[in-house]
Amino acid sequence: MKKLLLTGAAGRIGSRLIEDLVDQYDLTAADKDCTTIAEWKDRGCRLVTFDVTDLSDCRQLCGGMDTVIHLAGNPSPFAKYDELKGVNIDGTYNMMQAASEQGVSRLIFASSIHAVKGYAADEQVKTTSPVRPPDLYGASKAFGEAIGHYYGYETDMEVVAIRIGGYRSLEVMKENGEEPDMRERSTYVSKRDLNQLIQKCAEATLDKPFIIVHGLSDNTFKFMDLTDTKEKTRYAPVDNGFDFQ
């Protein structure tokens, strides 16, 4: 089985992704604290605690891995620069550098819709559109895309950057009794669609050593275009934010 490393495994996305990966890969799940995902140890998943701001930790973690899915990061769009620098800037560099040094074939980087969320709500963003972050969190993800481009083209490691949309945002709004508007529905991505896309990115044959893909469900209007994402990865989303009740 292919050896796969998942960082940020205890986070909102990672903790729901493990269940789809654990039977498909020789899986190592890593985070700063793995307490909340301890049950996966009994399913054959290795759990490792690490510090993404420590390059030596990252090197040790990447040793022997075929593929890295790098989700670890500060996910707050309200975070200040000092709160983002260590994890989202230095940590992203550490993981890409360590993975490259250790001979990892492909790294999948969790970018964000926030890298381009500064565009108008009715303007569809392409994977080729210039970044337009409305916050420093988005800028940190734009940095990750830029450095991913470097590692993809200047080293032997392929890099895929996924601009993840509003992950389970409509479910959260429903739980809070809130009514989603057009923008919320157009930026939505469900758990099963994102899990599918991440796995497609791990297995796809790439035509370039670095690509950007868009992580949205098959929403009636998509804030980010999915045309080339589907072509490059064979992604086939099944959910639609405009159908969500």
Which phi and psi (to 5°) does residue 160 adopt?
A: -120, 125
The whole-angstrom separation of Cα 1 and Cα 6 is: 15
* Overall residue count recorded for the chain in this entry: 245
The single residue of 81, 93, 119, 137 carrying the catalytic annotation is 137
93 annotated active-site = no
CA-wise closest residue to 75 among 40, 108, 113: 113
What DSSP letter does each residue of 15-76 carry, written as one string? HHHHHHHTTTSEEEEEES--GGGGGGGGGT-EEEE--TT-HHHHHHHHTT-SEEEE--S---
Q: Are strands 210-215 and 158-164 parallel, antiparallel or unpaired?
A: parallel
132 to each of 119, 121, 126, 128, 162, how far by Cα in Å? 7, 13, 12, 12, 16
Count the neighbouring beta carbons within 10 Å of the beta carbon of residue 148: 26
CA-wise closest residue to 6 among 90, 57, 91, 65: 65
Residues with a catalytic annotation lie at: 137
